[in-house]
Structure 1
Amino acid sequence: MAFQFLAYAAENITGTPFPELVISQLIKPLNLTRTYLTNPGSAFPNSVIIDGWDLDFGDEAPMGGYAMASLGRPWEILRRDVPVSPGSRTTRVVDLYTRQGGGTAYTSLIALSPDYGVGLSLLTAGPVPEDFHVIKKSWSDAFLPALEEASREQASVNFVGKYVLSDNSTATVGLLSDEPGLFLSEMHSENTDFLALIGTVLTALSGKAPEKGFGAFLYPTGLVEKNRVAFRAIYSAPGKTVLEDCGSWAEEDRIRYGGYPGDLFIFHLGENGMATGLEVPVADRTMLRA
C-alpha cells in the first residue's frame, strides 16, 4: 500500500494522473518501448491472456508485481529454529516476516529478518518454477544458519574480551558454543564480586541458590544512542535455558539500585562499531576494553 499512497501523493503534488506521470517521467525518457503500466492491448497479442496483461489493477498498479502480495494481513511470520553455533544441538527461534503473492503468471516473495538485518526478494515470471521453492528452502535451511555463524563471529570481534578500570573493576564477556547471546562470566566492581552479589539477592527473592557457572546472558534490546548500544541480562547458568525456568523473565527490572535496573548493560562503541567500553549503570562503572 505504501507505493499506492506514494502514487496518490505524486498525483496531488503534480496535478497529473499517475499513469501519465509514469509515461512522461519514466517510459518516454528511457525509451522503454515495451513497458506498460496498464493493459498494452495488441502490443503482445500472443501473451496477453497467459501473462495477465489483460488485467488492470487500477489504483493498485503502482505496486507492480507486489499488487496481489499486498492483500490480506501485512505479514506472515515464519519461525525457524536455528543452531546457535555450527554443529550445535541447541537452537534459538528466528522470526522471518514474509509475504508471497502474485498476479496470474507473476509471483513475488519478500522475507525480512530483523535479527540479522537482511532480506530476500524473489520475483518470477511465468509458471512458478521448482527453483523458486528450492531458493525459499535454502534461505531458511542453509542461509539462516550461515548468518547466525557470521553474527557470532562479528560479536566475537566487536564485544568479546576483558573490560577493566583502574579501581580494580573488571568484567569478562565471551561466547559459549552451545548458548545464544553474549555471556558475562565474571565481573568485579572494585573489590565486590558483582555476580555473587546478584546471586545472593536472587536467592533471597526466590529461595533458590544459583547453579555452578552462574553468570549473565546478554541480549541486545535494539536501543541505540549514538555510540552506545543497550543489552539486557538474563542471570542463569550455562545449560539452564529460560524455557526450563520461566521465572527468569520475571527477573527483568526486579533488582534495582540507585534508580537503575540490575540487568542493564551498555556497550560503548568506536567509529568502527567495535566496543571500547562496558557501562554498568547499577554499579556506576564504565570499564574500558583491554
Structure 2
Amino acid sequence: MLSQDPATATWHTPVYSNEALQLLGWAYENITGESMEDGFKTSILEPLGLSRSFWSPPKDDPNANVVELDPSTMKDLVGYDFEEGLATYTPTGGIYSSLGDLSAIGRSILSSSLLPPSTTREWLRPITHSQHTHTAIGRPWEIFRMDLPFTPGSEQTRLVDIYAKNGGVAAYLTYLILSPDHDIGFTLMVASKTSFSGDGDLDSTFNILSELLLEKWVPAAEAAAREAAGDDLAGTYVAEDGSDSTVELALVPGRLGLTVMKFVYNGTDFFATVGENLGFQGADLQFMGLKDQGEASFRAVFSNIESESSGRASVVGKKCGWTWGSAGWFTYGNAALDEVVYTLDADGKAAAVSFPALRLKLVKTSKEEANGGGDSRTASQEL
C-alpha cells in the first residue's frame, strides 16, 4: 500500500476504501489486545442476544439458508463461494447475518440500547458532503436526503436524512436503512444474478427493492407522525391561574411544526404587540429532542414580518434558512422567549403547555378538530 500513489489529498474529497477499514480493524486489535472477532461478539452479538450472525461463514449449519448461485450464468465474481470468508477483510463488512439479526441491530441503533443517546446522535450525522446535493457521507453512513411533501400531494417539501449502509460481495448484497426522524428502519438482503450491475443500474433488484421501501414507508411514517402530533399536542389551552391567557395550537398545511394560531397573554394579543416590536408575526413549535419526567421541550420558530421583495433572486438558489442561528435570542428572567414546554400524561398526550419566560402555564381544554397537516417532527417518534 505504501508504494501506491494516493488517490486524493487528505480532507479534500470523500473516497471509499475497503483497505482503510481493514487497517482500522488491525488498529483495533493492536489497541485493545483482542481480536476483532472477539470484540464483535462481546460488544454486539452477546448484548443484543444475536444468534444468527457470524464472523466466519457458518459451515455445515442446518439453519443457514444460503441462496446457491450458479457461477456459469453470471458475470465475473458473481459466483462467489459463500464458504470462503474474507479473512482480514472481514472488518470491511464481511459479517454473515440474517434479516432478523440485522433488524435487531437497526433497532438497537435507533433506541440507543448499546450507546448513550448523545453518542448515537453524534454518530448519525454527516462528516462531509459529495458533489450531489442530496448525498452526504458519515462514519460509515451513506446518507441520502429525501424531499418529503409537507402533506400528501403538497409541492412544499422538507428534507429527511436517510442513514444507510450497504455491503456485500458480488451477487450477495445487504442494506441497512434508518430514518432517525421517524424512528423506523429497513433491512434488505438480495442474492441474484440481477442483484446489482456494478454501475449504479437503477433497474437492478437491489435498487428497485430499496427504492420501493423508501417510496412507500417513509411518506407513510411522515403522515402517521403528523396525525399523532395533531392528536396529542394540538388544541386550546387556557391559563392555569385563571388569568385572561389563551393559546391555540394546530397543524396547518404548508407550515412546519405546530402553528400558534392564537396567543392572548393577560388579555393582550401577543403577536400584535410584543411580536410587532420584536419583528415577528407568528410562530411554529418544533420539538428539540429534549424530554424528561413527563415534559418535552419545544422551540418557537418565529415568522418574520414580511417586507417588500426587491425582486432579486438568491445567488445560491433556494434561500438559506437561519432559524438554527436564532434559538434563544430573546430572553426574559433568564428564560428564552422561544422556549415552550409541554407537560405530558402517561399516554404521551399533552395535558398542559408552559412558557417559562412569561411564567405562564396553560392547561388543555380541547383538541382542534381540523388539523390540516404540516410537518410533525414536533412529536412523531419521540412522544
* Kept after mapping to 1: 8 A contact 2:69/2:79: no
Structure 2 equivalent of residue 275 of structure 1: 350
How far residue 163 of structure 1 moved from its aligned partner, in angstroms, is 0.8
Question: Partner amino acid for 2:276?
Answer: T
Asked whether 1:7 is paired with 2:38, we answer yes
Q: 2:306, 2:80 → 1: CA distance?
A: 55
Among 173, 176, 184, the alignment partner of 1:107 is 173
Q: 1:105, 1:92 → 2: CA distance?
A: 35
Structure 1 equivalent of residue 294 of structure 2: 227
1:1-290 matches, cutoff 5 A: 7-8=38-39, 32-33=61-62, 35=64, 50-58=79-87, 60=90, 63-65=95-97, 73-127=139-193, 128=195, 130-165=204-239, 166-203=242-279, 210=280, 214-236=281-303, 244=319, 246-290=321-365
| 3-state secondary structure, aligned to 1:183 | strand
Question: Partner amino acid for 1:168?
Answer: D
Unaligned regions of 5+ residues in structure 2, if any? 1-24, 29-34, 44-52, 72-77, 103-137, 197-203, 308-317, 366-383
Distance 1:190-1:45 versus aligned 2 partners, 3 A rule: closer
Distance 1:179-1:6 versus aligned 2 partners, 3 A rule: farther
Q: Which has the larger radius of gyration?
A: 1
Question: Partner amino acid for 2:349?
Answer: M
TM-score calculated relative to the size of structure 1: 0.74
* Kept after mapping to 2: 8 A contact 1:234/1:249: no
| 3-state secondary structure, aligned to 1:268 | strand
| 3-state secondary structure, aligned to 1:63 | coil
* Kept after mapping to 2: 8 A contact 1:51/1:126: no
How far residue 279 of structure 1 moved from its aligned partner, in angstroms, is 1.2
Post-superposition Cα deviations, 1:99-152, rounded to whole Å, max 9, x if no partner, equal 111123310111111110101110122331744322222233332222221111
Q: 1:162, 1:45 → 2: CA distance?
A: 62
Distance 1:278-1:98 versus aligned 2 partners, 3 A rule: same
Structure 1 equivalent of residue 312 of structure 2: none
Q: 2:358, 2:37 → 1: CA distance?
A: 50
Q: Percent same amino acid at aligned positions?
A: 27
Question: Partner amino acid for 2:284?
Answer: F
Distance 1:114-1:168 versus aligned 2 partners, 3 A rule: same
| 3-state secondary structure, aligned to 2:283 | strand
Count of residues paired in the alignment: 254
Distance 1:174-1:239 versus aligned 2 partners, 3 A rule: farther
Q: 1:239, 1:154 → 2: CA distance?
A: 31
TM-score calculated relative to the size of structure 2: 0.57
How far residue 63 of structure 1 moved from its aligned partner, in angstroms, is 2.9
| 3-state secondary structure, aligned to 2:140 | coil
| 3-state secondary structure, aligned to 2:286 | strand
* Kept after mapping to 2: 8 A contact 1:52/1:105: no
| 3-state secondary structure, aligned to 2:95 | helix
Pairwise CA RMSD of aligned residues?
Answer: 3.7
Distance 1:192-1:276 versus aligned 2 partners, 3 A rule: same
Distance 1:277-1:33 versus aligned 2 partners, 3 A rule: same
